[in-house]
Amino acid sequence: MFYIVCITLALLVGFVYYPSLDAYFTADDFWHIPHLYQALSLGHPELLWQNFCGPWVGKTTFYLFYRPITELSLAADYFLYGKNAAGYHLTSILFHYANCVLVYLIGLKILSLNDKESIDTRRSQLVSFLVAAIFAVHPCQAEAVSWVLARADLVGAFFCLISVYAALFYAENKSKVLYAVMLVSMLFAFGSKELCAALPFILLIVFYCRNRDIKDTLKIMQAPFALLITFLIIRACALGTPLGGYVGTHGFKLNESFLERIFIPYVWWKLAHPINEHFILDYVFYDTCLRYAYIVVALLIVLNVCFSQSIQRRFALTLVSFFVVMLLMLVNFQVWTVCNSMAGSRIFYLLLFPLLLCIANIVVPSSIDIKNQKTNKILSWSAFFAGLLLAGTFSILCNLGVQAWRSAAIKTQSMQKQIVQKIDSMPLSKKLAIINLPPIIDGTVSIFVPDFLFGLMSPPLLDKDYWHRIICLDSDLKTVNMQNIKDLACDPNVEIVFWDQNINSLDQTLGPRLRQAELDQHKYTEPLKIDQPEYFKKLDWRISKNKDFYQNKKSGADIATYRLCPPQEAQIGRDLILTLSKKIEWQNKKLSKAENLLYVSFDDSDKRTNIDHPPLMFELPVDANSIKVVVPLSQEKSWLAVLPKKDLRVDLPVCFKMEEACIVNCDSLKAKLALAGKIEQGPNGYFTPDNSVKKLTFNYSCAHMKDACGALVEISKPNCFFTVYTGTLRDIKSSRHALKSIKLNEPQGIFSIPVSEFPQPAYYQIRLAPVSKEGRIISAFGDPVSMSLFTPNKN
C-alpha cells in the first residue's frame, strides 16, 4: 500500500507541478541569487556563514528573518545548477514530494495510535492517503513550490515533519537515536522558518496525547524547549531584535491591519476557494465543483454524527489537530493575508496538514464507531469520492496556478531582455530610468520593490552588470514622484521609459512627452468643457468584482457623473482642479463622510493601464457649500500610461454641481524640494550619499503658494515611506509616522540636515509642505526626496 501511495503521490505531484520547471526567479529571489553568486562564484563562502550571525542575506530594509538553513539549501542548488532556475524548482518539487510522503506516514501513525481498541487499518490508510493527496495538490501549495524563495516553507515543513515522525516513534520505544533525530530536525526546522518555533508546542501535544502523563511529557520536552529558548536568544542577537519579521512601512501596514485581517474571514475563504483570479479568468466550473464537494462533505459530517456511536473518540483527534492549526496560525499572525490572486498563500503550507487531518477524520467514517457495515461502506465510498472530487479540482486549479508562475517567468524574462536591449542600444554614458515595472504578474509576486531589479539585471543572471545603468522609479506601487521624473527627463544622460504592463513592452515615448510637457507648461490653461451630467448608482468598488469601475453603468440617483476631456498634450505633469458648489436644496443638509465621496477614474476600457487600479477617492468636507479641490493626477502611475487617456470620469455626490474644471501644471500647486550637491540617484531610485557626506543640503521653494510664510519638513522613520500610509504624496496633514519635523521660517531657501540625525542605516523620505503664518499647512506636501543612508557592508 505504501508503494502504491508513493507512486500515486509522485504522479500527482509530477502532473500538477511540472510547469514550475519553466518558472524563473522572482521578487526576493533577486536578492539571494546574487548573494550566492558572491559567496560561491566570487569566492566568498564566508557570506554564507553571515546568515548564521545576522539577518537573512543581510537584508534589513524589508524584513528581518533568520533562516540560515534555508540559505544553505539554496546554496546547494546554486552549487549544482548555478543560474538555471529549473534546477531550483526541481529541488522544490522533490522537497514537496518528500513532505507529502511524510504527511501520509505521519497521518497513518497518528490514526493507528488514536485507535487503541482496534485499528481500522483501511480507514487509516484512506484518511492518510486523502490528506496526503489533497496536501500535495491544494492550490495554496502552488506558491510554495513554484517560488524559489518559498523554499523556507518547504524546508521548514520537511524538518518539522521529520521531527514529529521521530517523536511519534520515540513515544513508543524511547530510543535515544530517535530522540536525537527529533532534536536535530527541530534545530534545522528552527533555522529554516520562523513558523517552526511552534514545533516544540506541537510535540508537547503529541507526547501528552500519547502518554497522558504531564510529568513524563515535561521531562521529555525539557531539551526541545531549551533548544527553542537557545535558538530564540541566538536569533535575537543575530537580528538585533527579539521579534523581527517584516519591518518598515510594509511591516507597519501588516501590523496595523492585523485585527482587520483576523476578523474578516477572507483568508479562510481563499483557502476553501483557492483560485488565482488574476490568471484564471473563467473559474465558474471549478468553483461549482468545489461547492458540490463541500455540500457532500457537510452531509457526510452530519451523517457521521447521526450514525456514529462514539463520535467523540474521533473528535478528540480533530480537536487536537484544530488546536495545532491555531498554534501555527498564531506564529503567522503578522503575515496572515492572502490576495485574490493567491499571493501569500504559502502561509498555509504546513498548516494544511493538521487542518486536512482534522476534517478528514470527521468525514471518513470508522467501522469502530459505525457498527452497521453497509452504512459504513456507503459513507466510506462517499467520502472517498468527495475526496477524489476535491483532489481532482484542486489539482487542476493548482496546475493552473503553477502555469501562472510559468507565464510570469516568460514575461519577466521578456522584460529583462527588452531592458538589456534598450541599454545596449544606448551610449555608454547614458542611464535608463524605468517606471511602472509590474509588482504582480499573472497573480504572482514580481518587482514590487525596486531593489529586486538588482538581481534581475546583474550577474549571474546576466553576463554584464546592467543594474548600474538603471534608475528604477517604482519606490511606490501606485504613485510617481513627478518632480523626480521631470528632473530626470531634462538630464541628457538619462532616458526615461515606461513599462506597459498590458502589452509587456517598453514605451519609449515617455521621455519626449515629458520634455514636451515642460515646454508646454503654460499652455492649455482654459477651463475644460463640462457637459450635463448623467446619473448612476454608486458602486462600492472595494467589493466590486467589476474591475472596470469606469464602466459603471448602473443607473441610479446616487452620483452625478461628468466626463472631462483634457487635451492629449496636457496630460503629463498636470493636476485637475474642480470647482464644486452644493445645490441650493442641499445646502442645509449634512451628508455623512461615506456619502460625500468624490471619485475620479480613468478610461481603461482599452486596458492600457495597470491591471488593478482603483479610482481616486476623495472625501469632500461635509459642510462645504463651495469648494475647489485638487485632483493630483500627476502623481498617478495610471495617468502616466502609454496612450493619453481619452477622458476622465468624475463622480460627484448628487448634491454637488461642477462649476469649473481646469488642468493646471502640478508644480504650481505644491512646494519644491531638491537635494543639493553631487549626490547620485542610485539604481533603486534612492539618492545615496557617500560616507564622506556629513550633512544633507536641500533647496526648497514654496514662495509661489499663496500665504506661504514658511515650511514644514518631515523625515520619515527608517524604511518607512509616507505614501504607503495615506496612498498619496499630497498629504495635507503632518504624519504621525514622521521621525522628526523641522520648521523653516522662510518660504524658500536652503537647509541642511546632519547625517547624524538619521538613527540607523536605512531608507528615508524627506518631504516639505508650505505653512502659513499660523503654522497651518497650506495645500499639501510636495513630492518627497527618497534617500538611502547606509554605511559600507551594511546593506
Partner 1 sequence: MINKEPVTNIRRYTKIALLGAATVFLSLSVLDPQFPVLAGPYSAPVTAPPVVEVQTVAPPPTINIINPAIPLPNNTPFVNPTDVSNPNIITGGSLNALLNQANGGNLALAGIQQVPDSDFPDFNTLKGDPAGIFISGGQFQKENDFVYNFTKGEILVSVRKPSDTCIIHMPYGSIAITSNGDVLVKFTDGVLRVFNLDATGSTLKIQLDKGPFAGPADPTVIVAAGFELVACDHKLTRVEMRPRDGIKRRHFKVLDNGHMAISEYSLASVLDASDVIADLKQNATGVKERRILGDMSKMAAVLNYKNGTQGFSMQD
- Chain residues 529-558 in contact with partner 1, contact rule CB under 8 A: 542-543
* Residue 130 or 228 having the CB closest to partner 1: 130
Binding mask of the shown chain, residues 348 to 387, with x at each position contacting partner 1 by CB under 8 A:
-----------x--x--------xx---------------
* Residue 250 or 422 having the CB closest to partner 1: 250
Closest distance of CB 267 from partner 1, Å: 8
> Which range touches partner 1 (CB under 8 A), out of 202-210, 397-405, 548-556, 701-709?
701-709
Neighbours of 452 (CB within 10 A): 25
Closest distance of CB 286 from partner 1, Å: 13
- Chain residues 553-592 in contact with partner 1, contact rule CB under 8 A: 577, 579
- Decide if 741 contacts 714 (C-beta within 8 A): yes
- Chain residues 463-482 in contact with partner 1, contact rule CB under 8 A: 463-465, 468-469, 476-478
Neighbours of 132 (CB within 10 A): 28
* Residue 208 or 246 having the CB closest to partner 1: 246
Q: Binding partner 1 by CB under 8 A: which of 87, 245, 344, 392?
A: 344
- Chain residues 246-305 in contact with partner 1, contact rule CB under 8 A: 246, 250, 253-254, 257, 260-261, 264-266, 269, 272-273, 290-295, 297-299, 301-302, 304-305
- Chain residues 106-165 in contact with partner 1, contact rule CB under 8 A: none
Q: Which three cell numbers stand for residue 789?
A: 543612508
Residue 476 neighbours by CB under 8 Å, 6+ apart: 721, 723, 724, 729
Q: Binding partner 1 by CB under 8 A: which of 722, 730, 766, 784?
A: 730
Residue 635 neighbours by CB under 8 Å, 6+ apart: 479, 480, 481, 482, 666, 728, 729, 730, 783
Q: Binding partner 1 by CB under 8 A: which of 532, 555, 588, 793?
A: 793
Task: Check residue 651 for interaction with partner 1 (CB under 8 A).
Answer: no
> Which range touches partner 1 (CB under 8 A), out of 8-16, 408-416, 437-445, 639-647?
437-445
Beta strands in 394-488, from DSSP E residues, in sequence order: 431-435, 440-441, 444-445, 470-472
- Decide if 701 contacts 672 (C-beta within 8 A): yes
Question: What distance in Å separates the CA atoms of residue 787 and residue 409, rounded to the nearest whole number?
Answer: 31
Q: Binding partner 1 by CB under 8 A: which of 672, 688, 739, 760?
A: 672
Residues, the chain: 795
Q: Which three cell numbers stand for residue 5?
A: 501511495
* Residue 160 or 640 having the CB closest to partner 1: 640
> Which range touches partner 1 (CB under 8 A), out of 127-135, 146-154, 556-564, 661-669?
661-669
Beta strands in 508-571, from DSSP E residues, in sequence order: 534-536, 559-564
Task: Check residue 725 for interaction with partner 1 (CB under 8 A).
Answer: yes
Task: Check residue 73 for interaction with partner 1 (CB under 8 A).
Answer: no
Closest distance of CB 269 from partner 1, Å: 7
Closest distance of CB 402 from partner 1, Å: 18
Q: Which of 471, 396, 462, 383 is nearest to 434 (CA)?
A: 471
Task: Check residue 618 for interaction with partner 1 (CB under 8 A).
Answer: yes
- Decide if 649 contacts 531 (C-beta within 8 A): no
* Residue 227 or 477 having the CB closest to partner 1: 477
- Chain residues 165-204 in contact with partner 1, contact rule CB under 8 A: none
Query: Residues 131, 136, 137, CA angle at the centre, nearest 5°?
Result: 105
Q: Binding partner 1 by CB under 8 A: which of 16, 105, 247, 675?
A: 675
Q: Which of 595, 651, 600 is nearest to 623 (CA)?
A: 595
Task: Check residue 623 for interaction with partner 1 (CB under 8 A).
Answer: no
Residue 326 neighbours by CB under 8 Å, 6+ apart: none
* Residue 41 or 760 having the CB closest to partner 1: 41
> Which range touches partner 1 (CB under 8 A), out of 107-115, 131-139, 228-236, 626-634?
626-634
Q: Binding partner 1 by CB under 8 A: which of 92, 458, 684, 716?
A: 458
Task: Check residue 679 for interaction with partner 1 (CB under 8 A).
Answer: yes
Report how many helices (DSSP H) and strands (DSSP E) the chain contains, helices first. Answer: 23, 23
> Which range touches partner 1 (CB under 8 A), out of 46-54, 114-122, 215-223, 753-761?
46-54
Closest distance of CB 514 from partner 1, Å: 14
Task: Check residue 94 for interaction with partner 1 (CB under 8 A).
Answer: no
* CA distances, 415 to each of 24, 173, 177, 468 (Å): 12, 57, 52, 17
- Chain residues 307-326 in contact with partner 1, contact rule CB under 8 A: 307-309, 311-312, 315, 319
Q: Binding partner 1 by CB under 8 A: which of 83, 657, 704, 737?
A: 704
Q: How remote is the C-alpha of 545 from its chain's centroid? A: 20
Residues paired with residue 495 on neighbouring β-strands, in sequence order: 432
For the beta sheet containing 738-744, the strands, ordered from the edge strand earlier in sequence to the opposite edge, are 738-744, 710-716, 762-771, 785-789
Task: Check residue 634 for interaction with partner 1 (CB under 8 A).
Answer: no
- Decide if 200 contacts 186 (C-beta within 8 A): yes
* Residue 161 or 769 having the CB closest to partner 1: 769
* Residue 58 or 644 having the CB closest to partner 1: 58
Closest distance of CB 225 from partner 1, Å: 31
Residue 103, CA atoms < 13 Å, CB-side half-sphere:
31
Q: Binding partner 1 by CB under 8 A: which of 8, 10, 18, 41?
A: 41
Query: Residues 592, 597, 603, CA angle at the centre, nearest 5°?
Result: 160
Q: Binding partner 1 by CB under 8 A: which of 629, 658, 693, 739?
A: 629
Tell me which residue has cell 530536525: 185
> Residue 356: phi, psi to the nearest 5?
-65, -40
Closest distance of CB 197 from partner 1, Å: 21
Task: Check residue 724 for interaction with partner 1 (CB under 8 A).
Answer: yes
* CA distances, 590 to each of 310, 560, 580, 622, 629 (Å): 62, 18, 16, 6, 19
- Chain residues 502-521 in contact with partner 1, contact rule CB under 8 A: 521
- Decide if 761 contacts 61 (C-beta within 8 A): no
> Which range touches partner 1 (CB under 8 A), out of 74-82, 231-239, 391-399, 422-430?
422-430
Q: Binding partner 1 by CB under 8 A: which of 306, 330, 557, 565?
A: 306
Closest distance of CB 247 from partner 1, Å: 12
Strand 785-789 to 559-564 pairing? unpaired
Closest distance of CB 456 from partner 1, Å: 14
Closest distance of CB 11 from partner 1, Å: 28
- Chain residues 769-788 in contact with partner 1, contact rule CB under 8 A: 778-780
Question: What distance in Å separates the CA atoms of residue 681 and residue 665, rounded to the nearest whole number?
Answer: 25
- Chain residues 741-770 in contact with partner 1, contact rule CB under 8 A: 748-750
* Residue 265 or 512 having the CB closest to partner 1: 265
Cα pseudo-dihedral 700, 704, 705, 706, rounded to 10:
140
Task: Check residue 727 for interaction with partner 1 (CB under 8 A).
Answer: yes
Total interface residues for partner 1 by CB under 8 A: 136
CA terminus-to-terminus distance, the chain: 52
> Residue 63: phi, psi to the nearest 5?
-150, 160
Q: Say whether 727 sits in a helix, a strand or coil.
A: coil
Q: Binding partner 1 by CB under 8 A: which of 118, 173, 222, 429?
A: 429
Task: Check residue 676 for interaction with partner 1 (CB under 8 A).
Answer: yes
> Residue 548: phi, psi to the nearest 5?
-85, 70
Question: What distance in Å separates the CA atoms of residue 56 and residue 60, rounded to the nearest whole number?
Answer: 8
> Which range touches partner 1 (CB under 8 A), out of 131-139, 163-171, 609-617, 650-658?
609-617
Preceding amide of 460 cis, omega within 30: yes
- Decide if 238 contacts 202 (C-beta within 8 A): no
